[in-house]
Chains A and B, each alone.
Chain A
Amino acid sequence: NAGVMQNPRHLVRRRGQEARLRCSPMKGHSHVYWYRQLPEEGLKFMVYLQKENIIDESGMPKERFSAEFPKEGPSILRIQQVVRGDSAAYFCASSRIGQGIMNTEAFFGQGTRLTVV
Chain B
Amino acid sequence: QKEVEQNSGPLSVPEGAIASLNCTYSDRGSQSFFWYRQYSGKSPELIMFIYSNGDKEDGRFTAQLNKASQYVSLLIRDSQPSDSATYLCAVIIRGGSEKLVFGKGTKLTVNP
Contacts and interface: CB of A to CB of B under 8 A. Distances in A.
Interface centre among A43, A91, A105 (most CB of B within 10 A): A43
B30 to A, nearest CB: 10
B1 interface: no
Contacts of A58: 96, 99
Nearest to B3: A45
Contacts of B100: 33, 45, 93, 99, 106
Interface string A35-52: 100000111110010000
19 contacts: A1-B43, A1-B45, A35-B102, A42-B88, A43-B90, A43-B102, A44-B102, A45-B100, A45-B101, A45-B102, A56-B99, A93-B100, A99-B100, A100-B32, A100-B92, A102-B51, A105-B49, A106-B100, A107-B46
Given A102-B31, A108-B44, 20 more contacts: A33-B99, A35-B102, A41-B104, A42-B102, A43-B44, A44-B102, A45-B101, A45-B102, A55-B97, A56-B96, A58-B99, A91-B44, A93-B100, A98-B98, A100-B32, A100-B94, A108-B43, A109-B43, A110-B42, A110-B43
